[in-house]
Chain A
Amino acid sequence: MDNDLLPRGVQRGPLWKFSLLLFPWVLLLAWGVYAVFLCLAEGLNQTNMDNRFAFGLWIYLDLTVIALGAGAFSTGFLLYILKRHELKAVINSAVVLGLICYSGAVAILMVDVGQPLRAWFTFWHPNTHSMLTEVTFCLTCYLIVLLLEYVPIVLKNRKLRQIPSFLVFEFEFHKLMPVLAGVGTVLSFFHQGSLGGLYGVMRGRPFAFREEIGIWPSTFFLFILSAIAAGPSFLLLMTWLVERISGKRLVKRDVLQFLGRLSGILVIVYVLFKAVDTLIWINNTSPASGFPAFEYYERKEFGTWILLSEIILFGLLPGLVLLKKRWRSDIRILLGSALMIVFGVALNRFVLTIQTLALPTLTFDKFLSYSPSWQEVAAFAAVIAYGVLLYSISFRYLPLFPQEREIARTQEARA
């Protein structure tokens, strides 16, 4: 029975082994669900956040996974709109990763808001002056788009497609993917940007506040750029990780190199804008707010090393490496650079979320410290467990990597 559900022409391990491997993740998910239950039943006092430190681990990781999930829309845009057909090899995997990232982030946001039953308030009574309203609308819409993009992948399951209605619907729906890819790009552009804009408009936080370009602060554009730069790197890393875990070559090496090159080019563009933005902020925006920028970096924990690491070590350096064909042809260098880019974007989200809130802004303010409670850690661990479970099940039963079959046959023939 299980064999009938597996994608055509690929090998998967026995079901008992698969179930055994997933069991620890189910336990982790259960632990997280219990923590979520506590947060919803007892209130947000279960977390270590308070009115002053209102954004913690959840928002930081939400921002990070949303940035990493950008691989879904950027890959869709490149494949369906710009017709880069080599990305067909990873598009299904990108959609599943995007769905995991976005649905996980939205689930955590629901817990963070504390009253998920009133989630509809934000749609019916939107605060038109809040960047978060745009984020909420775009995130919700894009999550629906991702779910719709996931449907044809599920219907490609070998057993499901024997049902004529499913097969025909999948065929017709897949033809409309360019429309969904276009809509997804527009929505992603706005919510990635608005998440960045959220920090840039905070006049009361001069560390994060930025000048406007048009109607948006510069962080709006920096978030978009950094997300589309990190998305392909994350996709590259996840593809390699799945290859390692499954013990199978899933895509041709030139696909990974293309993702690396794409990420390299985009991260260089991002770093250039980021550098210009930082210089303007140091020399103009921050002094105009009454804070010389160096004051933010007086504490050892958040010294200038963090700024330089973000821009040079985890931005410029891997970007330049990925631009050179000879270097990115080496899989270790390719993966190392992609990992550095992902880390750099995660660091950027950490700086904007945690460092912004920790730094004092008024004369009587103190440097705030925060460490997450076990409930916060467990709730996010549940998102990771959910991601592992959904991806593993999708990988086993759905054709996530169309090149897998051909590569396996070529390898067998060589052997």
Chain B
Amino acid sequence: MTPWVYEFRWEAGHIAFLLLFLSVGITVAVAFLTALYRSSRDRSLNLHSEIMWKAVFEELPREARSCRHELTGELRNRPCPHEFNCRACDTHARLLRENSAPPRELPVLGLEIPDDRFYHRGHTWIKAEADGSVRIGLDDFGRRLAGSVDEVTFPTLGDKVEVNGVCCTMKRGGAVAKILSPVEGTITATGGDEADWFLKVKLSDAGKDLRHLLTPREARFWMLKELERLQMCLSGSRAGITLADGGNLVQDVPSAIKEDCAMVWEEMFLQP
């Protein structure tokens, strides 16, 4: 069976059996070492944020993974297959060419969704600046979800941010929200208390492609879904009557939901 055992002979049959047995051990060892090598390579390529986002996306409930074209009614029942990276999506490119979106009445939400910016599913927007950089801020929904926070932690100027990587954190009581970056680039400024934006980013060359972000029209349909998702999220909490009564989203959601804040932030900000 093995060379050190009596009766082993260096013949084809014995060698084949030995190789078969060794191949099992070699396969397992190679698989393990390959994973180690690849993970070390991923770390050196700084793919950590991308991988974390894949893990977060995989855990998202179906209703949070809707394709942007499902939101607008162009496609039916289509969860996004690309982790919201529409740059890599052939269907998105095709539908943009065909421009086949059916005319639909825009939902009335009681939320501000300015037309001069693009929106990210982590409840941030970006607005282009004259110098080619972009400002990043929380959308109206995200702002109400955050309410009046105790502390905001920004990255250092000059730091690089990745799409769907964490670009800032907010604290309120024991709850922490990690806000995802909508773009990749270098931080050039951070906003003050009064500003409606919190980061200014100089886009990297790859980051200038903004096809992954929602247009204001798409954002309206998406936020309608988000309101439903928030309602579902709060249905098991102690928040009392939620949006089912048809009212507007309150200005400071955490003050209404208290100890459920961490859970709601985690869910709605898609945080890792």
Would you list which residues of chain B between 216 and 243 have a CB under 8 Å from chain A? 231-233, 235-236
Q: Is A14 in contact with chain B by the CB < 8 A criterion?
A: no
Contact across chains for B266 and A9 when beta carbons are under 8 A apart: yes
Docked Cα-Cα span, A171 to B55, in Å, equals 8
Docked Cα-Cα span, A415 to B242, in Å, equals 14
Q: Is A41 in contact with chain B by the CB < 8 A criterion?
A: no
Q: What 1/0 flags go to B23-48 for Cβ under 8 Å of A? A: 01101100110111011001100011
Q: Is A307 in contact with chain B by the CB < 8 A criterion?
A: no
Contact across chains for A168 and B48 when beta carbons are under 8 A apart: yes
Contact across chains for B59 and A169 when beta carbons are under 8 A apart: no
Give B185 Cβ to nearest chain A Cβ, in Å: 21
Contact across chains for B61 and A406 when beta carbons are under 8 A apart: yes
B58: nearest chain-A partner, CB-CB: A402
Would you list which residues of chain B between 1 and 60 have a CB under 8 Å from chain A? 1-2, 4-5, 7, 21, 24-25, 27-28, 31-32, 34-36, 38-39, 42-43, 47-48, 51-52, 54-55, 59
Would you list which residues of chain B between 52 and 91 have a CB under 8 Å from chain A? 52, 54-55, 59, 61-62
Contact across chains for B42 and A172 when beta carbons are under 8 A apart: yes
Q: What chain A residues lie within 8 Å of B28 (beta carbons)?
A: 141, 144-145, 148, 180, 183
Pick the residue among A128, A144, A156, A409 that contacts B7 (CB under 8 A): A128
Given the contacts A168-B42, A171-B55, A415 and B32 also touching, CB distance less than 8 Å: no
Q: What chain A residues lie within 8 Å of B51 (beta carbons)?
A: 167-168, 171
Q: What chain A residues lie within 8 Å of B31 (beta carbons)?
A: 148, 173, 176, 179-180
Tell me what chain A mostly uses at the interface: helix, strand, loop, or mixed: helix
Would you list which residues of chain B between 232 and 266 have a CB under 8 Å from chain A? 232-233, 235-236, 263, 266
Give A159 Cβ to nearest chain B Cβ, in Å: 12
Given the contacts A167-B55, A173-B35, A128 and B5 also touching, CB distance less than 8 Å: yes
Docked Cα-Cα span, A406 to B4, in Å, equals 55
Q: What chain B residues lie within 8 Å of A133 (beta carbons)?
A: 1
Q: What chain B residues lie within 8 Å of A172 (beta carbons)?
A: 34-35, 38-39, 42
Pick the residue among B4, B42, B61, B235 that contacts A405 (CB under 8 A): B61
Give B107 Cβ to nearest chain A Cβ, in Å: 20
Q: Is A124 in contact with chain B by the CB < 8 A criterion?
A: yes
Docked Cα-Cα span, A412 to B263, in Å, equals 15
Contact across chains for B235 and A413 when beta carbons are under 8 A apart: yes
Contact across chains for B55 and A161 when beta carbons are under 8 A apart: yes
Contact across chains for A402 and B38 when beta carbons are under 8 A apart: no
Docked Cα-Cα span, A25 to B83, in Å, equals 43
Give A81 Cβ to nearest chain B Cβ, in Å: 14
Q: Is A324 in contact with chain B by the CB < 8 A criterion?
A: no
A177: nearest chain-B partner, CB-CB: B31
A3: nearest chain-B partner, CB-CB: B262
Q: Is A126 in contact with chain B by the CB < 8 A criterion?
A: yes
Q: Is A186 in contact with chain B by the CB < 8 A criterion?
A: yes
Docked Cα-Cα span, A243 to B223, in Å, equals 34
Would you list which residues of chain A between 364 and 415 have a CB under 8 Å from chain B? 399, 402, 405-406, 408-409, 412-413, 415
Contact across chains for B232 and A412 when beta carbons are under 8 A apart: yes
Q: What chain A residues lie within 8 Å of B231 (beta carbons)?
A: 413
Q: What chain B residues lie within 8 Å of A415 (beta carbons)?
A: 235-236
Q: What chain B residues lie within 8 Å of A124 (beta carbons)?
A: 4
Would you list which residues of chain A between 137 and 166 have a CB under 8 Å from chain B? 137, 141, 144-145, 148, 156, 161-162, 164-165
Contact across chains for A167 and B52 when beta carbons are under 8 A apart: yes
B234: nearest chain-A partner, CB-CB: A412
Given the contacts A125-B5, A402-B59, A168 and B236 also touching, CB distance less than 8 Å: no
Q: Is A68 in contact with chain B by the CB < 8 A criterion?
A: no
Q: What chain B residues lie within 8 Å of A137 (beta carbons)?
A: 21
Contact across chains for B43 and A168 when beta carbons are under 8 A apart: yes
Give A181 Cβ to nearest chain B Cβ, in Å: 11
Contact across chains for A413 and B232 when beta carbons are under 8 A apart: yes
Q: What chain A residues lie within 8 Å of B25 (beta carbons)?
A: 141
Give A95 Cβ to nearest chain B Cβ, in Å: 15
Given the contacts A141-B24, A168-B51, A169-B39, A176 and B34 also touching, CB distance less than 8 Å: yes
Contact across chains for A183 and B232 when beta carbons are under 8 A apart: no
Contact across chains for A126 and B5 when beta carbons are under 8 A apart: yes
Q: What 1/0 flags go to A290-316 for Cβ under 8 Å of B? A: 000000000000000000000000000
Q: What chain A residues lie within 8 Å of B1 (beta carbons)?
A: 126, 128, 133
Contact across chains for A167 and B48 when beta carbons are under 8 A apart: yes
Give B240 Cβ to nearest chain A Cβ, in Å: 15
Q: What 1/0 flags go to B133-149 for Cβ under 8 Å of A? A: 00000000000000000
* Chain A residues near B (Cβ < 8 Å): 8-9, 124-126, 128, 133, 137, 141, 144-145, 148, 156, 161-162, 164-165, 167-169, 171-173, 175-176, 179-180, 183, 186-187, 399, 402, 405-406, 408-409, 412-413, 415
* Chain B residues near A (Cβ < 8 Å): 1-2, 4-5, 7, 21, 24-25, 27-28, 31-32, 34-36, 38-39, 42-43, 47-48, 51-52, 54-55, 59, 61-62, 231-233, 235-236, 263, 266-267, 272
5 A-B pairs besides A126-B2, A141-B25 with CB distance below 8 A are: A164-B48, A168-B39, A168-B51, A169-B36, A405-B59
- The list of the 4 closest CB pairs from A to B, nearest first, reads A412-B236, A173-B35, A172-B38, A169-B39
27 A–B contacts from the bound complex (CB under 8 Å): A8-B266, A9-B266, A9-B267, A124-B4, A125-B5, A126-B1, A128-B1, A133-B1, A144-B28, A148-B31, A164-B48, A167-B51, A168-B43, A169-B39, A172-B42, A173-B31, A173-B32, A173-B39, A176-B31, A176-B34, A176-B35, A183-B24, A186-B24, A406-B61, A409-B232, A412-B236, A415-B236
